[in-house]
Structures are given as C-alpha cells and as structure tokens.
Amino acid sequence: MRKGTPSPCPLCDAEPISATHLPDKDAYQIECRRCGKFSISGTLYSSRGIPNALRPWLSAYTRQGHEHGRPTEMLLSSNIETLGQEMEKISPKDRVEKLLQSLIKQTSHVGAPVEFSAQWDYPLATAHNSQEAMFHVGELKKKGLIEFFNMTHLLVTHDGWAHGNPAPLPMASPSKSDDESTTGKKEWDVFICHASEDKTEVVEPLAVALKGEGFAVWYDRSELTIGDSLRQKIDDGLIKSRFGIVVISPKFFAKKWPGLELDGLVQKEISGEKVILPVWHNVSHADVSRYSLPLAGKVAGSTSQGIPPLVQELIRAIRSTANATGGAVLSAQMEPNAKHPVLPANLEPDTTMFRKLDHMASEKTVRELLNQKIYTKQFRLEDDHFLVDLIDEFQRIENCYLDDELRKESEKLVKKLVALLNIVRRTFFSVGDGRLKFYPDPIDSKHYDAEWTELVKAIDSAWTEYKTYRMTVKERLRV
C-alpha cells in the first residue's frame, strides 16, 4: 500500500484527505473528516464519476458505517446507485433516530458532551446538507433528547439515553453483602489524579494525611504525563475509587489538555453524584479561567491554606454523600486567603448599571438567543431588534463603569456582538411572518459552508466573551 497524493474526497469534495492506494485490488482506501473511512475502486476514484445526486447519500452510508464499526461495501460503478437510493429512502423520522444513536455511540459516558459540526457531521443525520442536519438536531432538542452544551458540542439528556438505549439497565441489589457481590464495591475511597511533577510537594503529603484519617488512597498509577488522556485516567481511577481528587497546578496545565476535557471535569457524575474534587495548587482564579471557565467556576479546595485544613475540607466533602443532596461538594471557595480587589467607591453605581442591563438581558436570555435561536436558525425579526438593543445598551453604559476592568471587558464584548450582528445581517433574510432564515447569497455549497463556519465562530466568540464579562462582574462586584 502507498499513500496517494492528497486530493478532494470523491463524495463530498472536502480536502485534504488521506488516500491510500491498494494495488492488489486497484482500489483506494479513503479517510475523510466528513465521510469517514471507506474504499472505492480505482476507476471510480480516478474518473470522479459519482453523480452529484448520489454523493450525500453515499457519504451518509460510509460515515455511519465507519462510526458504528460496520463493514461497508467498496464503492463501485455497479453498486453506488443502489446504495445511495437505499439511504435516500430512510424516512425523516428514522434519520433523527440514527442521529441520536450516532451521538450516543460517540459519547464516552452519560453526561459527557459530544462534538457535532453541522458542516462536517451532517452525514450522521442522513442529511443532504448542514441545514437539514440542524433541522434534525432541532427536532431532538424539541423532544428533550439532547441539549446544546456549547457552540461545538451537544449533550444527550437522560431522556435521550433512555430513548436511544431502551434495554433496562442492570441494578445493584442492596440486599447483597460485600461478600456476596463485589461488582459495586470500590477498592479505594479516593484516587489522586496529578501531574507527576506535583507528586513530592503535594500528592504524597495529601495521601499520607488522608490515610491517617482512615481513607484508602490510590495515587501511584494516577500520574499524568504528556500524551496521556485526562478523561481516560480519571475514568480508570473511578472504576476502582469512590471519588477522584484532581490537583490543578501550573504543571497540570502544562500538559495542554483539550478544553473539552477540562470542562468535562465539572460535569463528571456517577449515579447523579459529584465525584470529582478539584484542588488548586499555586494557581489563581485568573489562571484557571484562561484554560476553562466552567472549571474556574467550580468550588474547590486549595493548598494555600495548608495540607491539614485542606484534608478536613475534603473529608467533609466526601462524607457529605450521606446527606440528601448526594455527591461530594466542597463548601469552601478556592484560595480563601487570597486578596480580592475591594471597590468601595465603585461598587454601588457599577452594581446598579450591571443589574439594570442584566434585567434587560439575563444570562439565560442571551444564551437562548446565541446558542439556540441564531445557531439553530429559529431567528425572528424581534430577536434581531433585541440584539441591536443589547448592543446599544452596552455601548451606552460601557464607558460609565467606574472600574477599569469592567469597562475593558464591556468594550470587548460590544466588539464581539457587533461582529456577530454584521454576519447575521449579511446571511439572514426575511422569509415572511417575521421569520429570518440563514440563506447566504449566492447559494453555493462551499460558499454556504464557509458562511456557516464564520457564523458559528462569531457566535462562539460572542458567547465566550459574554461569559468572561459576567465572571469579571461577579468577581469584582460580588453580585
């Protein structure tokens, strides 16, 4: 086998792709971000003779087979019409079901977000294009089977998992003793996930202190090195342990974890219980915010108070599982002795302005506008007016903030919202009854995808900036 020169995918024209020549079969094995891995005859690949009408259906056939681990037929001039027509016959209702199954298949565990790009993943919905894929996504959302986690990821809900996995789940019998059944028994109380560089200074003293309190602690195999999967390390630890302590430090961030894995620490639950306890070491709130806003907002313990007080806080959190609330929750905020800026002169007028703006456009309202109405194209004329009014209000008050940091964050947010509005005004057109539709002109598949990608980036950027603004406000004004 030899790698061929990268060229556009024969099904979707995406590039670059991986094309490996199979000389013994006069065929090529193709790997495409949109269409998955599939094989195609050399003649068909060289001629690029697949009719345009069949391409999206064949793309759905190959991608779904790849994602679900099902063998697919080599694409030949003699079979592509039959394969394409079979996919096209799938009803819209069944296409929605297939999409849900694909999302579940890609999800590492219940509660984990799954990446979904309408531009690249529309074959999973057996869709003709990204617009149809988002229609199916909207149907799953309307039924409560998925939620929008952020601009690039979806989240399968409990109802979605139940709908997509109708078989009853195994139940642990409470009547059995530990000797009768060990399937639900954990070997350790806690494991400590940590960068190997933090072992001597933090992890070993912490483990010794916890052991002194009667806890079984596992940490030798939970060291993190470059190339490890953070999620896999934590999942491995939770197989044998009731709780996981994750030491967040400069050395931890030096491993350059993907943002999704960091954000996922906040969502990690087992049977509805919070099982991850973050511990900050030599990092500030601002340091963590740069890597993960959700992680920065999670209550955690800190080594700044010393190991003994930290251990007592962790013990209270672990033992809180006996309470009705369920799950371990740290009650002390991070860095309790850290000095936060005090703004006695600025506090009252700045707080008044923030509350006025927040009354007009709460976090929930802005999230719905950006993450749902614009992103799913359920956009109306009044939403456009709301976005304009929001920008006008921000521009009116941004220079009124007395605190420099708030004024700076407000100005940055206005720029992102204006950029988003400009793209919306260019790509959304009225289709009657007050509805606006994403319909870039002139219509061309590549132009459409490019416009959609630009829009999604602008939405994501605006939403990230809005969250940063609100976090800054809450930190400095204590609201």
Catalytic residue, from 31, 132, 223, 261: name it. Answer: 261
Q: Write phi, then psi, for 170 (nearest 5 degrees).
A: -65, 140
Q: How far is CA 424 from CA 120, 385, 430, 457, in A?
A: 21, 12, 12, 12
- Residue 461 within any structural domain of the chain: yes
To 5 degrees, how large is the angle CA 132–CA 129–CA 66? 105
- Residue 243 within any structural domain of the chain: yes
- Residue 176 within any structural domain of the chain: no
State whether 358 and 463 are in the same domain: yes
Instruction: Kindly give the parts of the chain with pLDDT less than 50.
Output: 1-4, 166-184, 222, 227, 258-261, 263, 269-272, 321-346
Answer with the one of 43, 73, 88 that is the final residue of a domain. 88
CA-CA-CA-CA dihedral for 372, 373, 374, 379, to nearest 10: 160
- Residue 179 within any structural domain of the chain: no
- Residue 408 within any structural domain of the chain: yes
Q: How far apart are CA 199 and CA 194, in angstroms?
A: 7
* SS3 track for 134-191: HHHHHHHHHCCCEEECCCCEEEECHHHHHHHCCCCCCCCCCCCCCCCCCCCCCCEEEE
- Residue 452 within any structural domain of the chain: yes
Element (H, E) at 244: strand 241-248
Give the domain range for residue 281. 188-322
Strands 153-156 and 114-115: antiparallel
Give the three-class secondary structure for 467. Answer: helix
Q: How many residues does the structure list for the chain? A: 479
pLDDT score for 174: 34
pLDDT score for 398: 58
Specify the number of domains making up the chain. 4
Q: How far apart are CA 37 and CA 123, in angstroms?
A: 13
State whether 304 and 242 are in the same domain: yes
86 is catalytic: no
- Residue 353 within any structural domain of the chain: yes
Element (H, E) at 458: helix 445-477
State whether 51 and 100 are in the same domain: no
Q: How far apart are CA 383 and CA 121, in angstroms?
A: 28
Residue 35: DSSP 8-state: T
State whether 151 and 193 are in the same domain: no
